[in-house]
Amino acid sequence: MSDLSQRDRACLLGVLSSCLLLGLPTLSAAEHAPKADSLKVEIDNRIEAGWKGQGVTPAVITSDSEFLRRVSLDLVGRIPTIAEVRGFLADDKPQKRERLVDRLLSSPEFAHHAATILRRMWIPQTDTQEFKRLIFDYESWLARRLRERAPFDELVRQQLCVPVNGMAVPINPDGDEIGSSAFIAVSDMKPEILAANTARAFQGINIDCAQCHDHPFARWTREQFWQTAAFFTRPSTDVAQPNAALTIAVDDTEMTVEATLFTSKPVKWPNKIRVGTGRELLADWIISSENPYFARNAVNRMWANFLGTGFIEPLDDLSGAIPASHPQLLDRLAEAFVQSDFDLRFLVRTIVLSRSYQLSTVSSSDSSLVDDPQLFAQMPTRSLTGEQLYNSLRTAAGLKQDVTATHLGYRKHPRQKFAARFLVQRPSEGQRALVQTLLLMNGSLTGEATAAGQTPLLVAIESAPFLSDKERVETLFLATYSRRPSEGEGRPLADHLKQSEDRSAALADIFWALLNSSEFNTNH
């Protein structure tokens, strides 16, 4: 143990934290914080009414360290840095969780991570071999638009109305179109595929089966499916035709139908129908207040993203056949989202500051009802996505976050290759396959992160003369678990380190074990 003064030790510890990992960005308040705080009370009251009605005791509020780790993974796609952990745990001022959320939502990292979330929400086809080439341009466009605070409805309209030719190639490849055309591209510009994908992604409605036949229990008919598809057809001429409308021939029939909305509202066709007119008219209706599905779908999917389960499951069945677990709350959140001018940060802030989101993953009740995920009485343990795991491994090790890539090199970028191997469709349901576990244990990134005497974190810990072995172990826990070790965890590891002839290897072994644990590999 060094004989440095307490003041020197505190100063050096702060320098160590700052050198190892990124520091704290400037704090900024959310624009809609007062409204979000008021809405949070409504959420809590309605969820708590469900607990009381079922006689369920919810889990306790999670600890500060668990909340910091959870919300960092969910909002910026990585675990917090050592500096962020120390700073948050030492903060004794009121509303520190609110201030943390506001800081994360204001960071560029939120835009990047939210772009990945929205990509999987809107065009999950990009995780397939056929369409993964679209990921870079699409996420780059989304991240930029999110940094510009583009409203949620504007993002959707831009994708549906992007000017493209008959091959789904952007007419203006140097502008926004190169990224925003991805939604059109995954549908191969085919009206029937566009109709199905649009209904599912932006309205939470699955109309796929109606393409071929009328299902006896489905709300949507075959005729309605093709009436929607007609909006995506290209006009046979680009000249003025009074009372003209887009039509489409129904597959395997002699029937032709006219583009018609799901509601009884008639379509107001312009005198001149251009290429893209149908898509523009449909987009305007989808994002309008007259559409009962758009805002509810956005809320349901974002709630499911952060709490593991939506108010309505499956997420693409908002047709009314399946009742919502909390219908009044779903409608209230949808209403508030519209009133916020579709501010995604407002919606996210409201959700992650709710009591349900801040609950522990450990149940406080013996009742089997707690196992019902739609009671939201405890937080589910969720697998990390490939992107979260990649970013967190590099963050823990103190390695520089390399998020830059060229269009041509993106598919070979280490982050993209890693994420593809650790793909999880629903984190709340996903479990690592054996091959993924082996890859994590023996993969190149884990090897780079735990290289004895080379990794920035390990070098800094080993070379710091003011750290005791107990403090070295504590630093490893802060870097990986965002918490300090218990006495039972820390003492044996500190003793092992003290007795080791090769201290570099011993530190690397401890770090490797922490990185391969279930605690590191899950969001809890």
Q: Which amino acid belongs to residue 259?
A: A
3 state SS of 294: helix
DSSP state of 181: T
Q: Is the pLDDT of residue 514 over 70?
A: yes
Residue 60 host element (H or E): none
Whether the per-residue pLDDT at 241 is higher than 60: the answer is no
Pairwise CA distance, residues 403 & 191, whole Å: 35
- Confidence class of residue 453 from pLDDT cuts 50, 70 and 90? confident
Residue 242, both tokens = 């009074």
- With cut-offs at 50, 70 and 90, classify the pLDDT of residue 304: very high
Residue with tokens 């970013």: 391
Per-residue pLDDT band at 20 (split at 50, 70, 90): very low
Please report the pLDDT score of residue 175 as a whole number.
60
The model's confidence at residue 224, banded by pLDDT at 50, 70 and 90, is confident
Rounded mean pLDDT, 285-309: 96
Residue 163: its pLDDT value, please?
86
pLDDT at 34: 52
Percent of the chain whose pLDDT exceeds 90? 60
Burial letters 352-366, b for 16+ CB under 10 A, else e: bbbbbbbbbbebebe
Which backbone phi and psi does 317 adopt, to 5 degrees?
A: -135, 60
Residue 240 CB neighbour total at 10 angstroms: 10
410 pLDDT band (50/70/90 cuts)? low
Local confidence band at 446 (pLDDT 50, 70, 90 cut-offs): confident
- Assess whether pLDDT exceeds 70 at residue 5: no
Question: What mean pLDDT is predicted for residues 67-80?
Answer: 98
Does residue 73 carry a pLDDT above 90?
yes
Tokens 């770090």 belong to residue? 511
* Residue 464 pLDDT exceeds 80: yes
Q: Convert the pLDDT of each residue in 90-114 to its tens digit.
A: 999 999 999 999 999 999 999 999 9
Q: What residue type is 207 in one-letter code? A: I
- Yes or no: say if 448 and 396 are a contact pair by the CB < 8 Å rule: no
Instruction: Give the mean pLDDT of 41-60.
Output: 95
Q: What is the DSSP pairing of strand 247-249 with strand 256-258?
A: antiparallel
- Total residue count of the chain as it appears in this document: 524
Bond from prior residue into 314 cis (ω within 30 degrees of 0): yes
Average confidence score pLDDT of the chain: 85
Q: Are 308 and 300 in contact (CB under 8 A)?
A: no
> Could you tell me the CA-to-CA distances from 239 to 271, 356, 440 in Å, in that order?
9, 56, 60
CB atoms within 10 A of CB 464: 18
Evaluate if residue 428 carries a pLDDT over 70. no
The label of the residue with tokens 């009074």 reads 242
What's the CA angle centered on 148, arms 110 and 108, to 5 degrees? 25
Once rounded to an integer, what is the mean pLDDT over residues 131-144?
93
CA 451, CA 472: separation in Å to the nearest integer? 16
Q: How confident is the model at residue 9 (pLDDT cuts 50, 70, 90)?
A: very low
117, containing H or E segment: helix 108-122
Burial profile 190-225: b = 16 or more Cβ within 10 angstroms, e = fewer: ebbbbbbbbbbbbbbbbbbebbeeeeeebebebebb
Report the range of poorest mean pLDDT among 151-160, 396-405, 472-481.
Answer: 396-405
Averaged pLDDT, 503-514: 96
Which has the higher per-residue pLDDT, 186 or 369? 186
Q: Looking at residues 57-70, what average pLDDT do you find?
A: 97
> What pLDDT, on a 0 to 100 scale, did the predictor assign at position 458?
96
Q: How far apart are CA 92 and CA 144, in angstroms?
A: 35
Among positive and negative, which fits the CA dihedral 211, 212, 218, 220?
Answer: positive
Q: What is the pLDDT, as a whole number, of residue 30? A: 44
Beta strands in 153-262 (DSSP E): 247-249, 256-258
Helices 33-54, 327-339: inter-axial angle, 10-degree rounding: 180
**Spatial distance between the Cα atoms of 223 and 466, rounded to a whole number of angstroms:** 75
Between 264 and 500, whose confidence is greater? 500
As a whole number of angstroms, the distance between CA 153 and CA 286 comes to 9
Residue 232 has pLDDT above 80, yes or no: yes
At residue 510, the pLDDT reads: 96
Q: Rounded to two decimals, what is the model's pTM?
A: 0.89
CA distance 272 to 281: 13
Residues of the chain with pLDDT > 70: what percent? Answer: 81
What residues are paired with 523 via a beta bridge? 382
Side-chain-facing half-sphere of 340: CA atoms under 13 Å: 29
Tell me: pLDDT of 29 over 50: no
6 or 495, greater pLDDT? 495
* Mean pLDDT confidence for 420-430: 71
Whether the CB-CB separation of 160 and 198 falls below 8 Å is answered with yes
d(CA 364, CA 360): 9
pLDDT-derived band at 266 (thresholds 50, 70, 90) equals confident
Lowest mean pLDDT among 29-43, 179-193, 234-248: 234-248
Going by C-beta distance under 8 Å and a sequence separation of 6 or more, which residues neighbour residue 144? Answer: 111
Residue 62, number of CB atoms within 10 A of its CB:
20
* CA dihedral sign of residues 62, 67, 70, 71: positive
The per-residue pLDDT for 300 is 98
Distances in Å between the Cα of 424 and the Cα atoms of 124, 130, 296, 411 are 11, 18, 24, 18
34/18 Cα distance (integer angstroms)? 33
Rounded to 5°, angle at Cα 472 from 466 and 478: 120
pLDDT reading at 213 higher than 50: no
According to the model, what pLDDT value does residue 235 have? 76
446: DSSP letter:
H
